[in-house]
Structure 1
Amino acid sequence: MAAQIPESDQTKQFKEFLGTYSQLTETCYLNSVKDFTTREVKPEEMKEALATKAGPLGQSG
């Protein structure tokens, strides 16, 4: 049987995940959309942002 994680720890981990996800989303968006008057997205800059932030998301705490 797997060990149960207390609900307070689960809540804390989920909040941390949501905060990290929010930062990643914002970084990718701001790095890919430079000119808000067009619909152009710069995929190469989005890849850089993802690579930069992938480390914290891949770590288990």
Structure 2
Amino acid sequence: MSKSSVSDFESQTALATKLDKCFYQADQQVKLLHLQAEIDCLLQQLQNLKLQRIASTVKEE
């Protein structure tokens, strides 16, 4: 994939995301935002656990 096609794809994806959000009712948008925040939180927790596991492995060596 060329550089321009990657940026085109990203632009199309961003536009599609914005269009999708336009069709959601307000309560659905709130639910979506809460789920996105929860996903971000869970991903952060996973990253922290991974870092803790790496740190404990390094200490044991």
TM-score normalised over the length of structure 1: 0.47
Larger-gyration structure (1/2): 2
| Greater helix share, structure number | 2
